[in-house]
Amino acid sequence: MKTDLYDPAWAEFYSVADRSPEARQRFLRDWVARNLELIDKYHLDLLWWDNGVNGREYDPLKLEVFAYFYNRAQQWGKEVTMVTKGQASLGGHVQDYERQSRGPTTIQAAPFEVHDSPFQRWGYLSDAHYWTVDDIIWRLVENVSKNGNLLLNLGPKADGTIPEEQKQLLRGTGKWLQVNGDAIYGTRPWTKFGEGRSLNNNPHYVAQDIRFTTKGNTLFAILMAWPGAAVIITSLALGQSPPGKIEKVELLGHQGNLDFTQDTEGLRVRFPAEKPCDYAYALKITGLKLK
């Protein structure tokens, strides 16, 4: 297929129509220079690389950019990070996975992120088939429980405006985080990411699908669906639970403590009649010694 990429008339723009070793080196040095320019001009918080730099032969160039970015950040007195895909990095980065179906299925020692789109492509589509808000919440919780996060794609129209359907998804996610953000922001994984089914792209969670996060000695158990009157968290059964004694169980967004008992089958928690939000539901459990 003929494209402008290989048309000599566009050689200056694309830089790769000339396939000589000299042109290749010019392109690579230009790539490094553009990275350094971005870093200095915009004092980046994050530098994200897509595919194309996975090969080990590019390691010296990548390390040059890495070192420059982190050294400049030290001079600025700010925290920054690199995000790379595949085998692009040698370390000191956040590993990225394209689409939830390719994301980790277990807790990761190092932070990661999954980037995904709430419709079938990455750019604007007039006939897009959108996720629902709970689709986003489920993916967010799934990743956070494993030491990751969710990078959500938006596809603006040609005039730069965000379609109303995408705005509604963002507003719904923000509304959920207003209630349940304590179980997400600033949290760390527990010794296990959850219980119940562990399908990575599960469209139909039930209340027994539970994900865990921690903040200090506080354990959050996030139920992926409303349990009705009660739920049993089997990971907190007597003899399996961490040291300490559960003193209090709260439901984020609900006033007052919940009634609970703990036995050899698990932690049994009674739920109120009214839901505090529309999607996943976070229990805040205190009294255990998690550290």
CATH number at residue 241: 2.60.40.1180
210 in a domain, yes or no? yes
Domain with 31, as residue range(s), is 4-85
175 in a domain, yes or no? no
200 in a domain, yes or no? yes
Q: For residue range 262-286, list pLDDT tens digits in order.
A: 999 999 999 999 999 999 999 999 9
What length does the chain have? 291
218 in a domain, yes or no? yes
Last residue of a domain, one of 63, 85, 107: 85
pLDDT computed for residue 20 by the predictor: 81
Q: How far, in whole angstroms, is CA 83 from its chain's centroid?
A: 12
Number of domains in the chain: 2
Tokens representing residue 3 in the block: 């494209």
Report the number of secondary-structure helices (H) and strands (E) in the chain: 5, 13
Q: E strands within the chain?
A: 46-48, 81-85, 94-98, 112-116, 148-152, 194-195, 210-215, 218-223, 230-233, 244-251, 260-263, 266-270, 281-288
pLDDT computed for residue 247 by the predictor: 97
93 in a domain, yes or no? no
Cα 166 to Cα 31, 79, 130, 180, 201, distances in angstroms: 33, 30, 8, 21, 20
Q: E strands within 133-270?
A: 148-152, 194-195, 210-215, 218-223, 230-233, 244-251, 260-263, 266-270
159 in a domain, yes or no? no
100 in a domain, yes or no? no
Query: 206, exposed or middle or buried, with CB in 10 Å at 0-12, 13-18, 19+?
Result: middle
Last residue of a domain, one of 52, 68, 85: 85
What's 272's DSSP letter? P
**Residue position matching structure tokens 């760390």:** 188
Nearest by Cα to 116 from 81, 90, 134, 140: 140
Q: Following DSSP, what letter does each residue of 122-137 receive, concatenated?
A: SS--TT--PPPHHHHH
pLDDT computed for residue 15 by the predictor: 61
Tokens representing residue 265 in the block: 């089958």
pLDDT computed for residue 227 by the predictor: 95
Which residues in the chain show pLDDT less than 50? none
pLDDT computed for residue 200 by the predictor: 54
38 in a domain, yes or no? yes
Last residue of a domain, one of 25, 54, 85: 85
Nearest by Cα to 227 from 207, 257, 253: 207
Tokens representing residue 67 in the block: 């070192």
Query: 89, exposed or middle or buried, with CB in 10 Å at 0-12, 13-18, 19+?
Result: buried
